[in-house]
Structure 1
Amino acid sequence: MPDTAPRLVYRKPSPSDVQRLFAIFGDPQTNLFNPAGPMTRLDDAHRLLDRWLEQWATQGYGWWAIARIEAPHHLIGFGGVAPLNYLTERRINLGYRFAVEAWGQGYATELGRDALELAFDTLNFPEVFGLVRPDHAASIRVLEKLGLKPFGVLDDVPGKAPSRVFRVCHPTTVPG
């Protein structure tokens, strides 16, 4: 891990984050590789935020609200590790969505390192997965930088090429 000062702060999302969540998840630019497209209704943002808060309440972890250290009240994204259904199989998934203003600055890689540290050092998960659309080169590069390796494909979007699945195992776990 690089010896650099952290640039991001993370916190559990709160109900007051719904407008910022909607702004980021509703931006067509942040959904270029999302087959479902941008979020179009504030109600959808409320439902997503409610799911995240339920995850935090029942499991004690989940996606974080993310801000720059120098501007902790301005959220630039959401992400972290949380369970996700890969069709019928539940996996611990690393994911993120950043506002366009935060792109190209290495924040996804920094978030990923911090999320994997939580997943392995604190939560002691045996493995973490990443699910990415096959044409999303930037996210694939982030997963590779973080040490995730190709694991397979998931035919999760009808009529589209399968998503790529990446995996990284706990540093003390030998892959099976």
Structure 2
Amino acid sequence: MLSPEYPLHTDRLLLRPMTTDDIDAMLLYKSRPEVVRFVPYGPLSRADITDRIAGRWGRTELTEPGQSLTLALEERGTGRLVGDAVLFWHSAEHRSGEVGYILSPEATGLGYATEAAAALLRLGFEDLGLHRIVARLDERNTASARVVERLGMRLEARLVQNEWFKGEWSTELVYAMLEDEWRESAQG
């Protein structure tokens, strides 16, 4: 089980549960096709975002495998919502999970995705006790590949045209990190 104390602090961000106050800011980026190109949903409407915040995006803890924790990424200095990040708990037996993130175009290229994903890796390894965390991404999403590589995740698989995704074949990259590798990188 994972029940963090919020907000989580990084150098420049606060990671916190989403609220209905985030709907307008989220709509600005989650409604744009180019922003959601590589995530498993299309552009979202205000109603879609409202429903998801009332449902799984509003979760504040993980109580069992199969759940996910999606957190808003807020700039500490301005209070501006710059994106969101997610930690999936896949299996208790195998102690496995996954991380993901999506940022507003105005916040890309500033290192926020790396900062947020590092905080989620810490949550997964140190607080949830996961053994292995993966990041799955479309091969064309080179910016996301750079993020996970900066975190020290290693490329484990390139699954060529493994999924029919948004009307075309997609090649998926699977990056991973083990708990021991996380601990080594955290000490260094």
Q: TM-score, normalised by structure 2?
A: 0.74
Question: Which residue number corresponds to residue 168 of structure 1?
Answer: 177
State which drifts further: 41-50 or 134-143. Answer: 41-50
Q: Which of 111, 135, 138 is residue 140 of structure 2 equivalent to?
A: 135
Structure 2: gaps (5+ residues): 1-9, 183-188
Question: Which residue number corresponds to residue 88 of structure 1?
Answer: none
2:158 and 2:172 in contact (8 A); partners too:
yes
Q: Which of 74, 77, 80 is residue 86 of structure 2 equivalent to?
A: 80
2:56 and 2:68 in contact (8 A); partners too:
no
1:25 and 1:38 in contact (8 A); partners too:
yes
2:89 and 2:97 in contact (8 A); partners too:
yes
1:45 equivalenced with 2:49 (yes/no):
yes
1:30 equivalenced with 2:35 (yes/no):
yes
Question: How far did residue 157 of structure 1 move?
Answer: 2.8
Q: Alignment RMSD, CA only?
A: 2.8
Segments of 4+ in structure 1 off by > 3 A? 32-37, 54-61
- SS of 2:98's equivalent in the other structure is strand
2:58 and 2:70 in contact (8 A); partners too:
no
- SS of 2:175's equivalent in the other structure is strand
Question: How far did residue 153 of structure 1 move?
Answer: 4.4
Distance 1:150 1:29 in 2: 25
* 1:9-67 Cα shifts (integer Å, max 9, x gaps): 1111123322322222112331243475422x222212322212246374597121111
Structure 1: gaps (5+ residues): 86-90
Which amino acid letter does the alignment assign opposite residue 150 of structure 2? K
Q: TM-score, normalised by structure 1?
A: 0.78
Distance 2:52 2:164 in 1: 20
Distance 2:49 2:143 in 1: 25
1:98 equivalenced with 2:107 (yes/no):
no
Distance 1:56 1:18 in 2: 20
Which amino acid letter does the alignment assign opposite residue 112 of structure 1? A
- SS of 1:79's equivalent in the other structure is strand
State which drifts further: 43-52 or 160-169. Answer: 43-52
